[in-house]
Structure 1
Amino acid sequence: MDDAHKILCPYCRAELEEGAAGCPHCKRSFEGRNPAGALPVGTLLAGRYTVGEMLSLDGEGILYRGVENRGRFRVTIKEYFPITLSAERGSDWQLRPKPGSEVLLKTTRMDFADLYRSIQRITPATGLEAVLDVVEANNTVYAVLENPGGIPLDQWLDKQKKNVPPEAACAMLQPVFNGVAAMHQVGLVHRGICPENIRVLDNGRARLTGYATIGLRTAGSGLHGQLYEGYSAPEQYSAVEFEGRYTDVYSLSAVFYRMVCGQSPVPAAQRLVTDSNLGARTVNPAVPAYVSEALDLGLQLEPARRIQTVPQLGRALSSPQAAEEEARTLHAAGRRLQREKKPALSLTAILTGILILLAVLTLLTLWGLLGRVGQPEEPPASSQASSAPSAVTVNYVPDFVGMTYSQIQTNRQYAGIYLFYVTEEYSDSAPVGTVLTQEPAAGTAITEGENPTIRLVISKGPQMVEMPNTIGFTQEGAIHELESRGLVPSCFMVVNDGSYASGCVVACSVEPGTMVEAGSTIVVYIAADRDVQITTTPETADPAGQGESQDGDPEQTPAE
């Protein structure tokens, strides 16, 4: 069958003609499976993916089950379709804006595409759900995601029926911590970290899902927002508050709190009114004091008093010494913040002070004039006063990591205080011009007037390499060739009707000769043995009757 017109049944993955109303193999009908406005089951997307049933709908778009037709493996497909900005679409499935929403829809659609392309560059080598493809069609954007398997963390915790020891929670969440740190390194903030968006795999490790643009995860943004009570940070409840890496620190701390305490923290919006959230050790006395202290620092309502980065949080949760150091640093920062927030003097007090000052100056002037009669001249008082020591002002080195060098150059405050020494390095994750590291570190104290030199390492962007032609290579040979060029092979077995040599490469996701980023994931399709047949029946493919099967099907075989 011509691949350009081939779809797979999203239930049993048998081959069908494009436009089929149902599957003769598993006897499932496609008509009426998805609600009006969603893509119909069986839609061919980008000539490569078959759309299945709708899984969920949020203010940003629609999540579908799907199948990658060439490799015969299951995927999920996120369609950008913001309900507050989109008009009802017709039979051509084109996304159209509501009157007056044209510009906002266009800019948010670009944000959606940029988000998933950025995540595609840093997956699947982290604890993040991998983005396999980003497709533009129907006047909108589709993100094709891996199907990670496993179950959501909230369901996993309900089945455990007991609290998770902090050491086990650290081990389970470590891939998620790594993945969120990788997002932060390229300037992304997840904003939706919660047990619902973390999946626990069969090996007990966790993987983070649920990506979204800032609009979906911030109240009052124009999209129909999606916040998670107990896990969303307080700054997400206002469109005028700035969000940063510390926003995800709050959510990760809340997830950890849920795992070790058996309950979620009090929702941030409620805490802003009356903070009644109990310390982790109060809820569960088995929690070590340093873990409870670290969680308290991670769940601070004011971002300036909160642990600032995910690596710092991870260290504080696993080391008493690191937790103590974070507490000492943040308590000092809190005292500075308190001094800066001292209430201003009232207008009456200011006027009274001015009057007193004027009276004192008048008396001193008269005294000086009377005392000068018949007395030799003395040096001006200002010359004596100038020799008095002045107060020393201490500044703290800002956190430049994650900023662009152009932002630093155009900031007059930075230019007036610091001298910058810049070097460049390739980076697979950080955009061109982004600061990778700095020396001295953020928070280092300096005396005003020192003009210290800040050494910055700036990203040159990803190193580009040429995609080799691996068609006909053995799986081992293709892996070696791709890895020698700094590419990451991801191999899948495809059904072989005898047209290909078993165990050899029949296609790749990138055409030979294409320039790609070093570190990019290349999907490599390996021909299976000829005697491997499609044996999945409707019952084994979907025992629950809802297309839930994810693992163990012969056609969906990652090549090990």
Structure 2
Amino acid sequence: MPDLLCPHCLQPLPGGYGGDCPHCGRSLENPNPEGALPLGTQLGDRYTVGGYISADGDGLCYRGVLNEEKKFVLIKEYFPVTLCNGRSADGALMPKEGREVLFKTSRMDFKDLYDDLHNLTPATGLSTILDVLEENNTVYAIEESEKGMTLTHYLSLRSRTLTPAEARTLLQPVMEGVTQLHKAGLIHRGICPDNILLPIDGTARLTGYGTLALRTGGSELKSQLYPGYAAPEQYSASEFSGRYTDVYALAAVCYKLVTGQTPVAAPQRRVRDSLESAHSLEAGVPTWFSQVLACALRLDPARRMQTVPELMSALTDPNVANAMFERGDNQISTRKIMGVSLVVIVVLAILLIWSLLESGGGSAAQTPPPAQSSTAQSEDPALDEVETIPNLVGKRYASEIKDNDLYASYRIVMTEENSSDVAAGIVMSQEPAAGTLKTEENQILQIVVSKGPNLVEMPNIIGFTQANASKQLDERDIQYRMQIIENDGTMAEGCVAKTDVLAGTRFDAGKTVVSVFIAGERDDTLVATTGTPAPQDTAESDASQSSSAAE
């Protein structure tokens, strides 16, 4: 066995722990609180536990050392205080009586999360998970340790707010990382300045990973939410988070960067929404940029911006933002305002000319009849040269638009989206709108073409934990609602008991919302009444099977 390492200076300790390090002189006595792993504990013969850092509902965090590479790391230990009675003499965690199944299913969620992150990272904008190991009846996640500061600390050192361009640049890698999380079926749920690291020699990275239960108010674990950044749906176990939850948090962080103020916490906004626009707090923030943040910070998830790429595009390009506002409800686009203003100006100009002609004629008899004036205006060559945007909505892109000389003076930008109502290949929307004045040669004309319905196959998620079930459905873009049902003791607590769409069924994901029924806490009174014992072993077996299926 190799020599133990000093967790402070990484030098070998032939004499073991105790006293002071002969190399750096720092104390090797155990400073960690009761219940935490002692300083110098070896994990998997690969890692040395250093000083205790913090605790949350998922567990404990320590400084640590990767022995072979003599490299500092962070060690996260699954230790849910609401489900544990502490440690045995040999260091193993002991679940509370009657909470064994929930302890195991929650531990499985923790391991599945960090296994997925281990497979996904390293990735742009995400802190890397180096290893996951099981020991002491629990799970340890090993995360990279970067030199730098949190975004919270960085903002405290600044004398001014960031410009929108600076904010976009800083958050770009984090948004790219969250997009990768979402593609892997993972939701972060804890994005805030405290969990964004600014390394000395790199771009911003997101850390602060946590299980669904940790980031949900009223869950079985002691939850950890970040007021102002946590979305409203996170404050209740009866509501369900999704990709739009991280969109809310990212917009809240951006709001903080450009205004210097933390958004009003979601529970308070639900009572009285007093959140001021970014533009009203900081005049240098463009109106369209402020509107994008407002759209992404909507309290209702269904009316909120849904994906991070959509948020990234809208924060970068005002044309994209305006197109989004035209499609959205309760929004007025800048382009529409300009269009209406132009019409008003033209009408006022005509009235002014008319008034001047009347006053210059000297008598009513010399004033041209209105019909003649109208005719003269209609024959004005300048008006005949005005060109308006053609209507492409409803046309077939491949045969009617692509390579068509009629649209040679436009630069057509085509994107595709699934639609349950419009046939594949047909244009669903365009920006600018038809009839709008053409303002330049080779003007950009953005169109959205239907890909037809999004047909998906329902996965078999019976027995999956709530977090794993959400992951499977999110990966397939399946809309779903989850509902807690009464548990008579025959179902694994916190796992999927049934769905209203059978596994293997193909359906239109754009029109169907799948109902997923989650088994609630076992009701021992029902077990006693029916005389059927609660099969803990079966519940644990189902949970294990769900983990294998998820992997």
Pick the aligned partner of 1:16 from 3, 13, 31: 13
For 2:29, give the aligned amino acid: E
Residue in 1 aligned with 2:500?
none
CA distance in 2, matches of 1:433, 1:257: 27
Residue in 2 aligned with 1:407?
458
CA distance in 1, matches of 2:237, 2:14: 48
How far residue 292 of structure 1 moved from its aligned partner, in angstroms, is 0.2
CA distance in 2, matches of 1:87, 1:104: 14
**1:305 and 1:50, CA in 2 relative to 1: closer, same or farther beyond 3 A?**
same
Pick the aligned partner of 2:68 from 62, 67, 70: 70
CA distance in 2, matches of 1:110, 1:404: 31
Residue in 1 aligned with 2:81?
83
How far residue 396 of structure 1 moved from its aligned partner, in angstroms, is 5.1
How far residue 435 of structure 1 moved from its aligned partner, in angstroms, is 4.0
Q: Secondary structure at the match of 2:458?
A: helix
How far residue 409 of structure 1 moved from its aligned partner, in angstroms, is 9.5
For 1:82, give the aligned amino acid: P
Matched, 1:127 2:86: no
Residue in 2 aligned with 1:277?
275
Q: Please tell me whether the aligned partners of residues 404 and 434 of structure 1 are also in contact (alpha carbons under 8 angstroms).
A: no
Which TM-score applies when normalising by structure 1?
A: 0.60
Matched, 1:170 2:168: yes
Q: Secondary structure at the match of 2:275?
A: coil
Matched, 1:268 2:266: yes
Residue in 1 aligned with 2:190?
192
- What does the per-residue CA deviation read over 1:184-211, in whole Å, with 9 as the maximum and x for residues that have no partner? 0111100000000001122572110000
Residue in 1 aligned with 2:148?
150
Q: Please tell me whether the aligned partners of residues 459 and 472 of structure 2 are also in contact (alpha carbons under 8 angstroms).
A: no
How far residue 330 of structure 1 moved from its aligned partner, in angstroms, is 2.7
For 2:70, give the aligned amino acid: R
**1:104 and 1:129, CA in 2 relative to 1: closer, same or farther beyond 3 A?**
same
CA distance in 2, matches of 1:145, 1:37: 22
Q: Please tell me whether the aligned partners of residues 477 and 509 of structure 2 are also in contact (alpha carbons under 8 angstroms).
A: no
- What does the per-residue CA deviation read over 1:237-274, in whole Å, with 9 as the maximum and x for residues that have no partner? 00000110000000000000000000010000100000
CA RMSD in angstroms comes to: 3.1
CA distance in 2, matches of 1:436, 1:267: 29
Residue in 2 aligned with 1:31?
29
CA distance in 2, matches of 1:453, 1:146: 42
Residue in 2 aligned with 1:293?
291
CA distance in 2, matches of 1:76, 1:257: 30
For 1:16, give the aligned amino acid: L
CA distance in 2, matches of 1:191, 1:19: 41
Residue in 1 aligned with 2:229?
231
How far residue 329 of structure 1 moved from its aligned partner, in angstroms, is 2.6
CA distance in 1, matches of 2:281, 2:33: 44
Q: Which stretch shows the higher mean deviation, 265-274 or 318-327?
A: 318-327
- What does the per-residue CA deviation read over 1:346-372, in whole Å, with 9 as the maximum and x for residues that have no partner? xxxxxxxxxxxxxxxxxxxxxxxxxxx
Q: Please tell me whether the aligned partners of residues 186 and 431 of structure 1 are also in contact (alpha carbons under 8 angstroms).
A: no
Q: Where do residues 203-352 of structure 1 align in structure 2 (5 Å cutoff)?
A: 203=201, 205-331=203-329
**1:18 and 1:115, CA in 2 relative to 1: closer, same or farther beyond 3 A?**
farther
Q: Please tell me whether the aligned partners of residues 89 and 96 of structure 1 are also in contact (alpha carbons under 8 angstroms).
A: yes
Residue in 1 aligned with 2:415?
none
CA distance in 1, matches of 2:139, 2:226: 25
For 2:224, give the aligned amino acid: Q
For 1:117, give the aligned amino acid: D
CA distance in 1, matches of 2:90, 2:456: 45
How far residue 290 of structure 1 moved from its aligned partner, in angstroms, is 1.3
How far residue 236 of structure 1 moved from its aligned partner, in angstroms, is 0.3
Percent identity over paired residues: 49
Q: Please tell me whether the aligned partners of residues 185 and 474 of structure 2 are also in contact (alpha carbons under 8 angstroms).
A: no
Q: Give 5+ residue unaligned stretches, structure 1.
A: 335-393, 411-429, 438-450, 456-560
Q: Please tell me whether the aligned partners of residues 183 and 475 of structure 2 are also in contact (alpha carbons under 8 angstroms).
A: no
- What does the per-residue CA deviation read over 1:10-64, in whole Å, with 9 as the maximum and x for residues that have no partner? 0011112585224332233333310000001111111011100011111111010
- What does the per-residue CA deviation read over 1:523-552, in whole Å, with 9 as the maximum and x for residues that have no partner? xxxxxxxxxxxxxxxxxxxxxxxxxxxxxx
CA distance in 2, matches of 1:409, 1:72: 44
**1:433 and 1:282, CA in 2 relative to 1: closer, same or farther beyond 3 A?**
closer
Q: Please tell me whether the aligned partners of residues 457 and 507 of structure 2 are also in contact (alpha carbons under 8 angstroms).
A: no
For 2:22, give the aligned amino acid: P
For 2:281, give the aligned amino acid: V
CA distance in 2, matches of 1:432, 1:299: 24
- What does the per-residue CA deviation read over 1:75-105, in whole Å, with 9 as the maximum and x for residues that have no partner? 0000000111111213311011011110111
Q: Where do residues 443-462 of structure 1 align in structure 2 (5 Å cutoff)?
A: none
Residue in 1 aligned with 2:4?
7
CA distance in 2, matches of 1:50, 1:32: 13
CA distance in 2, matches of 1:194, 1:12: 31
CA distance in 2, matches of 1:16, 1:431: 47
- What does the per-residue CA deviation read over 1:365-416, in whole Å, with 9 as the maximum and x for residues that have no partner? xxxxxxxxxxxxxxxxxxxxxxxxxxxxx9558x99xx99542799xxxxxx
For 1:51, give the aligned amino acid: V
How far residue 218 of structure 1 moved from its aligned partner, in angstroms, is 0.3
Q: Please tell me whether the aligned partners of residues 64 and 73 of structure 2 are also in contact (alpha carbons under 8 angstroms).
A: yes
- What does the per-residue CA deviation read over 1:79-132, in whole Å, with 9 as the maximum and x for residues that have no partner? 000111111213311011011110111001010011011011111122100000
Q: Where do residues 383-402 of structure 1 align in structure 2 (5 Å cutoff)?
A: none
Q: Please tell me whether the aligned partners of residues 265 and 277 of structure 1 are also in contact (alpha carbons under 8 angstroms).
A: yes
Q: Where do residues 533-544 of structure 1 align in structure 2 (5 Å cutoff)?
A: none
CA distance in 1, matches of 2:460, 2:40: 52
Q: Please tell me whether the aligned partners of residues 298 and 306 of structure 1 are also in contact (alpha carbons under 8 angstroms).
A: yes
Q: Please tell me whether the aligned partners of residues 133 and 144 of structure 1 are also in contact (alpha carbons under 8 angstroms).
A: yes
For 1:138, give the aligned amino acid: N
Q: Which stretch shows the higher mean deviation, 290-299 or 323-332?
A: 323-332
CA distance in 2, matches of 1:108, 1:436: 25
Q: Please tell me whether the aligned partners of residues 149 and 199 of structure 2 are also in contact (alpha carbons under 8 angstroms).
A: yes
CA distance in 1, matches of 2:100, 2:112: 19
**1:195 and 1:396, CA in 2 relative to 1: closer, same or farther beyond 3 A?**
farther
Residue in 2 aligned with 1:55?
53
Residue in 2 aligned with 1:139?
137
Q: Secondary structure at the match of 1:87?
A: strand
Q: Secondary structure at the match of 2:93?
A: coil
**1:329 and 1:285, CA in 2 relative to 1: closer, same or farther beyond 3 A?**
same
**1:67 and 1:183, CA in 2 relative to 1: closer, same or farther beyond 3 A?**
same
CA distance in 1, matches of 2:187, 2:115: 14
CA distance in 2, matches of 1:271, 1:81: 33
For 1:181, give the aligned amino acid: T
Q: Secondary structure at the match of 1:92?
A: coil
CA distance in 1, matches of 2:128, 2:216: 24
CA distance in 1, matches of 2:57, 2:507: 48
For 1:44, give the aligned amino acid: Q
Q: Give 5+ residue unaligned stretches, structure 2.
A: 333-418, 423-449, 462-470, 479-505, 511-551
CA distance in 1, matches of 2:15, 2:127: 29
Q: Please tell me whether the aligned partners of residues 404 and 433 of structure 1 are also in contact (alpha carbons under 8 angstroms).
A: no
For 2:26, give the aligned amino acid: R
CA distance in 1, matches of 2:107, 2:192: 24
**1:281 and 1:136, CA in 2 relative to 1: closer, same or farther beyond 3 A?**
same
Residue in 2 aligned with 1:415?
none
Q: Please tell me whether the aligned partners of residues 88 and 94 of structure 2 are also in contact (alpha carbons under 8 angstroms).
A: no
